Structure 1
Amino acid sequence: MPSRPRVALCGAVLATAAALTCPAAAAAAPADRGWSAAPAPGAGAEPSAQDRPYFYLEGAPGTVMTDRLSLSNHTGRAVTVRLRGSGAGAWLALAAHEVRVPPRTRASVPFTVTVPRDAVPGGHPGTLVASGAGRAGRRIAVPLHLRVTGPTLSALTVENVAVRGRGSAAVIRYTLVNRGNTELTPRLAVRADGLFGPVWRRAARTLPVTLRPGRAVDLTERWPDPPDLDAVDVRLTVTAAGGAHASATASYPAPPWAVGAGALCAAVAGAGALLVVRRRRTARAGRGPGGDGADPGARPSGEEVADMTGELASTGSGARA
């Protein structure tokens, strides 16, 4: 790795070459503009507002690409600028990491970007950062947009779906995971079905998140007015561009007190029906000689049996006489 004096010397050589290439432009620059960093224009021209505002490079995994950064010193004193990359900028190799730019001079710093062989196709944003030393202590970040070409795959999953809370405080929690190699903007649709049919529907809408490949995000969805006495299946369906599609479900059961109340009501109804049948049988048996003249020891006739069976059926109870 080159030492600092050697790096400074390399920067000075580049700056001198730029000044010799365009001395008139360098001499004409105002002294109060400080120094600047921007993508280098073509044909040795001086950077201007019409030049590209960022670097854009595109290549397949394993490709090596080149470009140049322009450092312009508009002051009457020399400035020292340190350079580094971040994000996809970490894939670049600079000709110098520290450049000394003489007064009213422009330096052009070449660099290469080597796309890793295992890089995921798609966009990879980065930054080339220039920081001034000493009295020139300012910082300029030049955007670097790198696109890796190759076959793309859009895939995602929805995981860890759960319903928390009750009533107006019910919330659906879930996790979205980008399983593909492209950036995704997901859309979510929600449906809830109870024992007796649909309970809730929410049409698909775009979520306010952007998922990069391999990233996961935890999200929540408020459920207004869920039922108190129903067992509901909640289904989340997520889609995204490129054919990505996934769904998952969670259960929202009735609270324990509701289940107990239902069982108690059923038991009370059954007991009431049984009591009605027994009272009717007692009334029939009590009709003796002093009543309707029937013989207490006689067996019931077929008509009477049919009447009793009908009475049992009308109560809805499963009790036997």
Structure 2
Amino acid sequence: MSIALRWSGPISIAAALLMASVSIAPAEAVVRAEDEAGIRWAVAPAPAADGGARQVLLIDAQPGETLSDTVDVSNLGASALTLDVYATDALNTESGDFTLLPASEPPQDAGTWISLDAGRVEVAPATAVRIPITISVPDDATPGDHAAGIVASRFVAGPAGGSGLAVDQRVGTRVFVRVAGALAPGFELTISGVDYNPWLFPVANPAARVDYEIRNTGNVALGGDLGGRLTGPFGLPLGGGPSAPVPLVLPGQSVHGTLSSSDALPIGLLDAAVTLTSDTETPFGTVDAVIVETSQRVPAVPWVVVVILLAGVAALVVRGVRRRRRRRSTAGAPADAAAPAAAAPADAADPVGEVAEAAPDSVDRTGGDLLDDPAAADRVH
């Protein structure tokens, strides 16, 4: 269901906060709307030929083909209703819900292919009106899935001349048209950010948050499953693998989401990897599975632990330096006092050295005298 609010009279901030949009319920055969006065209505595909209820309108078509079907608009309340009925394009919300274009935006795709025999219907209490529809597929329609919706809308004007709200309440049913041709399922997966803060470790295990974007790049509406993996250096597992289902993503549409893990241990680096595996079942049958993976690396440093370790190392270094200085000062004082005493014997030994140096001169001179005086030499012999 989608509710759009229109202003009647001056706009106030408080009233602006009341504006809302609610998407169509994903898997109900009948989608209902109800206001505070108990006015209720619903829109759904008419039962199949065998009488079975249909949740959505599924239409297989060739380019250029024209097909017909019917929808039922039911008044579930006790008062008569006047409802506007029309077709428009479908899209995904950011979180992946199936929704329809606002009433103010004209359709550009399958919403333009659908025409209704009645644009406005009067529905008596506790009755239903069956409305024929025609689906005219263009000759140049691209192969694959095209999504739309058929809306039953009730507009309630605000107080005349007042500053109240005008409310446009809408309910709709899904329409999928698959145009014949080559099917090419495809996804693009992107990690838009990794939020990881290990400051509280080891007091508390840090949580990792991985924000991702999924874009359907093919021509088949697909859902699937998303799994995350957190690893450290050399592929060491750091945390459990978070997972999440992927809603049905329409071709050309993008959805955003988050995977979280609360037990990612910080050991320097964190690799966040995300893998998307598509469903093989589609509204029209099976297709080949699509598997895409991407990853992003972020620092994972336990800074509290690092600071504590650095402080401990610094304390040990300072302690060692102080101890070494004390040893040097203790060993240096006796050495300085003993230095003069050790120098005195060295000075006393100097004359001996002089005598030792002079002795050869005396010997030389004596030897020289003997050689110069032959008589002395004879006396020696």
TM-score, normalization by structure 1: 0.53
Does the C-alpha gap of structure 1 residues 40 and 264 become closer, same or farther in structure 2, counting only changes over 3 Å?
closer
* Aligned equivalent of 1:145, options 168, 173, 176: 176
3-state SS of 1:160 partner: strand
* Aligned equivalent of 1:250, options 267, 274, 297: 297
d(CA) in 2 for partners of 1:52 and 1:140? 16
1:3 corresponds to which residue?
none
1:198 aligned onto 2:257: no
TM-score, normalization by structure 2: 0.46
d(CA) in 2 for partners of 1:68 and 1:40? 10
Unmatched tracts of structure 1, length 5 or more: 1-35, 43-47, 74-78, 134-138, 291-321
d(CA) in 1 for partners of 2:323 and 2:291? 62
- Alignment of structure 1 residues 270-281 onto 2, 5 Å: 270-273=317-320, 279=327
| Bigger Rg over Cα | 2
* Aligned equivalent of 1:109, options 132, 137, 152: 132
d(CA) in 2 for partners of 1:163 and 1:40? 49
Does the C-alpha gap of structure 1 residues 118 and 225 become closer, same or farther in structure 2, counting only changes over 3 Å?
same
1:49 corresponds to which residue?
51
d(CA) in 2 for partners of 1:254 and 1:53? 51
1:185 corresponds to which residue?
224
d(CA) in 2 for partners of 1:218 and 1:107? 39
1:209 corresponds to which residue?
246
- Alignment of structure 1 residues 60-139 onto 2, 5 Å: 62-69=63-70, 83-87=85-89, 90-94=111-115, 96-98=117-119, 109-114=132-137, 117=140, 119=142, 121-122=144-145, 124-129=146-151
Shift of 1:211: 5.3
1:20 corresponds to which residue?
none
d(CA) in 1 for partners of 2:60 and 2:195? 44
Shift of 1:70: 6.8
May I ask how many residue pairs the two structures share in their alignment? 236
Shift of 1:221: 0.4
Does the C-alpha gap of structure 1 residues 231 and 211 become closer, same or farther in structure 2, counting only changes over 3 Å?
farther
Does the C-alpha gap of structure 1 residues 267 and 114 become closer, same or farther in structure 2, counting only changes over 3 Å?
same
Does the C-alpha gap of structure 1 residues 147 and 162 become closer, same or farther in structure 2, counting only changes over 3 Å?
same
* Aligned equivalent of 1:263, options 306, 310, 315: 310
d(CA) in 1 for partners of 2:246 and 2:51? 33
d(CA) in 1 for partners of 2:229 and 2:51? 49
d(CA) in 2 for partners of 1:37 and 1:253? 52
1:156 corresponds to which residue?
188
* Aligned equivalent of 1:172, options 209, 213, 218: 209
Give aligned-pair identity as a percent. 12
Supply the AA of the counterpart residue of 1:84.
Answer: Y
d(CA) in 2 for partners of 1:275 and 1:140? 81
RMSD, matched Cα: 5.0
Unmatched tracts of structure 2, length 5 or more: 1-42, 75-80, 91-109, 156-169, 279-288, 339-381
d(CA) in 2 for partners of 1:250 and 1:125? 37
2:376 corresponds to which residue?
none
Supply the AA of the counterpart residue of 2:150.
Answer: L
